[in-house]
Amino acid sequence: MALPKRKHSKMRRDKSRTHQVLATPEVTKCLQCFAPVRPHQICSSCGYYKGRKVIEIKKKEEKKK
């Protein structure tokens, strides 16, 4: 098994790790209910996509006192 001749410095080690970053997910607003939605996805709160109703969302019933 190959072994390195010299130790890599901390700077050199950290430079190689600069590309290992998690990207934050993009978020837009729904055009119908203005809820946060990922792009190219159906809105989970109203069921609209590109201005038209795609799925029917059942709303939770309020608890009766």
Amino acid at residue number 54: V
14 part of a folded domain: no
10-46 residue pLDDT tens: 999 999 999 988 889 999 999 999 999 999 999 999 9
Q: How far apart are CA 57 and CA 4, in angstroms?
A: 60
Which value, to the nearest 10 degrees, does the dihedral of the CA atoms of residues 48, 53, 57, 61 take?
Answer: 100
16 part of a folded domain: no
39 part of a folded domain: yes
38 part of a folded domain: yes
pTM over 0.75, yes/no: no
Number of CB atoms found within 10 A of residue 62's CB: 6
According to DSSP, the residues that pair with 48 across neighbouring strands are 53
31-41 residue pLDDT tens: 999 999 999 99
How many domains is the chain partitioned into structurally? 1
Q: Which of these, 41, 59, 58, lies nearest to 49 by C-alpha position?
A: 41
62 part of a folded domain: no
Q: Which domain holds residue 47?
A: 24-57
35 part of a folded domain: yes
